[in-house]
Chains A and B, each alone.
Chain A
Amino acid sequence: MAVVSCASKNKRRLPPCRVACPAGVNVQGYIALLQQGKFEEAVELIRKTMPFPAICGRVCFSPCQDACSRKNIDQPVGIRYLKRLAADVEREQGRVEPDPVPKTHSEKVAVVGAGPAGLSAAYELAKLGYPVTVFERMPELGGMMRYGIPDFRLKKYVVANEIAYIEDLGVEIKTGVEFGEDVQLDALLKEGYKAVFIATGTQLSMKLRIPGEDLEGVFHAVEFLRHVSLGKSVDVGEKVAVIGGGNTAIDAARTSLRLGAKEVSILYRRSRKEMPALPDEIEAAEEEGINLCFLVSPKQIIGEAGKVKAVECLRMELGEPDASGRRRPVPIQGSEHTYEVDMVIPAIGQLPETSCLPSILLDERARAISVDPLTLETKIPSVFAGGDIVTGPASVIEAIAAGKRAAVSIDRYLNGKDLGTGREEEIEETTWVKEWEKITKKPERYAAPNVDIGRRKVSFREADELLAKVKELAMFEARRCLECGPCAECLESEGLCEVDKAVVDENLCTGCNVCAIVCPFVAIRKNEREIAQVDENLCKGCGICSASCPERAITMQRFADAEIVTNVVAALGGETI
């Protein structure tokens, strides 16, 4: 059990993992629970902030892990694996089935689009007691989580299971409803929905706009992945070229390999460093034998009898950085060369379907809905928008964050409160900083075992499945957490934490400073009267100071010396063995 000292609950002081998470998941909190093997409680703690632990445990780009303090010693804690494992264990043991939340509000809310943004908003609003209806045009829920991310990265039943939890809360779901056709925005407002959240995402593939794009054998990535997810038969060629360097490109390439393509190449116009895809995914693709061709851009797709025969490319070189900060690729004149392929999958970007939306909502280029970034309100009052349709294609966790943000705005709007005030919480990132270099041994991360490569290719088994066997390993991994965050991560209110705290007897303290030296968390400093003072935000209740104080001026509130001696006596006098 993480002993998080908890005298003051200043919620603004957070550890770096939580600060880095767009949705603000209490990472240190659930890691502390995993340290004890409390998998179910950990998942429930995650669900307090967002409804998709298993999904994020698989596909999140895990900024928490990049921010983890442990990286200063060796490697960050494997937060994503841990979250995934926790969620898997909970699912296998039988998912927690929440009772429906009583509808304490009468104002109906409509959510358009059942992707991560829409579902998160519905989840948050349902928890607040609003009657929420989600409209989705596809037969199944999940948006890109279901129709965009292939099965080997994210299984359908995982998505379905997490969405079932949201349904259990009492969210009404209507599938097969085409927004703009079956249901209009004004009609929704007239029907009595007091607020609408639009999160329809980016469903269209960006076109290459080169000759030959309409040939048979050109299949845009989003449609390709959707087709495969729907279980429609898709003929992949022997030799496939995927154009683009994002996660969609990698997913399309790996999917086509699984569907029987013999040779798959990814053509990317910049170099590896600029690839937006997750490094893990790029590595996985390479391991599976996918060719990565850098600094090439298609000039035209050459056809024969209406079918793709080859793709002609230009070599590129990198010039000055562009608006995205990445170096702009510049074509080298006369560097044309061709790749013999029979299928081309462009995956260069996605656009939203805007035809179904009133033009007043859209930005000047009509490529997205323009919103107030703080409150997500659109130009029409009571209509909010978030997720990919606002930001362009992004990540699951960012969509979740948008859904949560929208839910707060809608709640405020329906209660007649100001949408903007006090939204930007002042956050102070608190990291326990000690001399990291003191720690000389650097153990590797306790890695999750991978399913072997051969099997990955032939089946849609999840690429790196975690097994129950690694549960113990997970607890061990969780114990690598330094708990660098302070008391803000306190779980005491959840009844999940034992609090201990060092208390200084000011009459006994002589200011010798030994406690400050031995404290691993720099939680003790001398005050202006030269008396030791415990920073309750940093103290974690280990008791080392108490055991070291030369004047015995420091006692632990919970596990005092006397308490330990009492336990010793009890143990000695206990039953004879």
Chain B
Amino acid sequence: MFRPKIIGFICNWSLPIGMDVASSGIIHGYPKIRIVRVMCVGRIDPTIVLETFAKGADGVLVIGCPSPDCHYNEGNLQAERKIKMLKKLIWLTGLEPERLRLDWAYAFEIERLAEIINDFRNRVTRLGPSPLTGEKPDVNVLLNMKAAKAAAEDFRLRVSIGRERELTEKENVYGEKISQEEFDALLHEIIEAEFIRHKIHLLTQEKPMSVKEIASITHMKPASVLNHIVDMRRKGMLTLDHVEKTTPLYKALEVQ
């Protein structure tokens, strides 16, 4: 029977009282989950979650304090936004976004915590093993995961997430305010663009590729691949390697 490997990032303040879990470990007597304690769920860098999947977790459960009782007052709101973004990224990699879940529990809600863990475990069990686990991890998904991680490290994406609350809840210096819907649409665009750019970057690291080749691997229209390539060349991520007959081949540059 398939027994999923689940990593539970639990904030220090939601960890059941009296459970003296070391920085990582398993809570005895609980539904089986591997606990990694963090100070605040807002502290979980998106790259850490992606790394966790890449390292072979079948599911990632993030548990923090319910609003408005976050110990750091806003950490849970920060986490919410990061997880929302991550789900989109994970969807792009071909992994099921349901493998990542954010939930809230107070430290004394031991039963609730157990319920959350059980429920999530069941869900992941139904999804089956992650394509990144086992002897032969799915190469495509792994590449996608690498691209997603690079995207999550990207300045543009991180700055957008970091500024989300400021942009949607406060006015900027020009007295403008972006609505949440507008922002979400914008963010979606950024996520997709950054993901695909970093994927192209990874692909062309191995060998120089043409627009057509890239388009067929990424299932995209050649025109939009070209658009990205133009942008990437401008940003210094990519360069023209050589021209085969009439087809230009591109190669990744090392990003500083």
Contact = CB atoms under 8 A, between A and B. Distances in A.
11 contacts: A1-B12, A37-B18, A440-B68, A443-B69, A512-B155, A518-B42, A544-B78, A549-B162, A550-B159, A561-B48, A577-B34
A434 B75 CA distance: 14
A512 B67 CA distance: 28
Interface stretch (A113-121, A225-233, A367-375, A568-576): A568-576
A517 B43 contact: no
A84 interface: no
A144 interface: no
Interface residues of B, number: 56
Interface of A: 1, 3, 35-37, 73, 434, 438-443, 472-473, 475-476, 479-480, 482, 500, 512, 514-515, 517-518, 520-521, 540-544, 546-552, 556, 559, 561, 563-565, 567-572, 574-577
Interface in B153-176: 153, 155-156, 158-159, 161-163, 165-166, 169
B39 A512 contact: no
B166 A577 contact: no
B43 A577 contact: no
Contacts of A476: 106-108
Nearest to A481: B71
Interface of B: 3, 5, 7, 12-13, 17-18, 23-26, 32, 34-40, 42-48, 51-52, 55-57, 65, 67-69, 71-75, 78, 82, 106-108, 153, 155-156, 158-159, 161-163, 165-166, 169
Given A550-B162, A572-B57, A543 B48 contact: no
Given A439-B73, A517-B163, A518-B78, A547 B55 contact: no
Contacts of B166: 517
A576 B75 CA distance: 32
Nearest to A541: B39
Contacts of A548: 78, 158, 161-162
Contact of A571 (B7, B12, B44, B156): B7
Given A1-B12, A512-B162, 14 more contacts: A3-B12, A35-B13, A439-B73, A500-B39, A514-B158, A520-B75, A542-B75, A547-B45, A547-B46, A568-B7, A571-B7, A572-B7, A576-B3, A577-B26
Contact of B36 (A439, A512, A514, A564): A564
Contacts of B159: 512, 514, 550
B101 to A, nearest CB: 16
A37 B17 contact: yes
A551 B44 CA distance: 16
Given A439-B73, A520-B73, A567 B36 contact: yes
A415 B13 CA distance: 47
A115 B166 CA distance: 56
A472 B108 contact: yes
Contacts of A520: 72-75
Given A518-B162, A543-B39, A568 B107 contact: no
Contacts of B13: 35, 479
A337 to B, nearest CB: 53
B155 A550 contact: yes
A559 B43 contact: yes
Given A542-B43, A561-B45, A567-B23, A574 B162 contact: no
B137 to A, nearest CB: 13
